[in-house]
Copies of this chain bind each other. A is one copy, B any other.
Amino acid sequence: ALAQNGHKILCVDCDIGLRNLDLALGLSDRALMDFSDVAQGHCSLESSVVEHPKIPGLYLLTAPARSRGRPVSNQQMRDLLREIRTQYDYCLLDAPAGLGTGFMLATCAADRAVVVTTADASSLRDAQHTVMELNRFPLGSLHLVVNRVRKKMLRSMHATIDDAIDKAGLPLIGVVPEDDALTLSLNRGVPLLLADYGSSAAAAYRNIARRVAGGKAPLLRIR
């Protein structure tokens, strides 16, 4: 959505071994070189990113399909991000699940972090722990997205989005409703924002993009 608003965006998949961002963007098997190739100086940033054929200004730098050779160091990642900063308006680093190496790499050089949780107890506790690990980020640079929200579920379990915010201890930057259109577009290899302009999750993404870019957007009403 940021790219559709005219920004130049680089998405970097940091999930070594289980990369998926290429699938989500509909760029499966297009990327040959990955962020470890660039960070370790085996090839240039320009030659390794892939531009989306249907969304100008949206680029992907993928993760290695398997971990091999020397691991990328935090310093190499920071140098890579310094180069990226000179060329792109925003760089979105997709961190893998868990608090392992990929998480550290994705967060060591970032300016802001968005913690994505669902409204269930298990995911909220993970979000709390993740926030604790992210304590080196300054105030105001940590945000929360509550994903896969279903109004029916929320009501029947007496939980609210407020609980999610309190439990994770972060300001909310977006609420994304559960939306079958997302699974469908993922399986078809088409980004949701291209596939379905009527989708409620797509509307939520566009609002989040506006807020990330410093604008204002109302919180969606979950139907």
Contact = CB atoms under 8 A, between A and B. Distances in A.
Interface of A: 15-18, 20, 23-24, 65-67, 96-102, 120-122, 125-126, 129-130, 133, 152-153, 156-157, 159, 180, 183-184, 186-189
Q: Which secondary structure characterizes the binding site on chain A? A: helix
Given A98-B98, A100-B101, A100-B102, 13 more contacts: A18-B125, A18-B126, A23-B125, A65-B129, A66-B129, A67-B99, A96-B97, A97-B98, A98-B100, A98-B102, A121-B189, A157-B187, A157-B188
B15 A98 contact: yes
A187 B121 CA distance: 5
B153 A183 contact: yes
Contacts of A152: 180
Contacts of A65: 129
Given A98-B97, A98-B98, A180-B153, A122 B17 contact: no
A182 to B, nearest CB: 9
A218 to B, nearest CB: 27
B122 A186 contact: yes
Contact of A99 (B17, B129, B153): B17
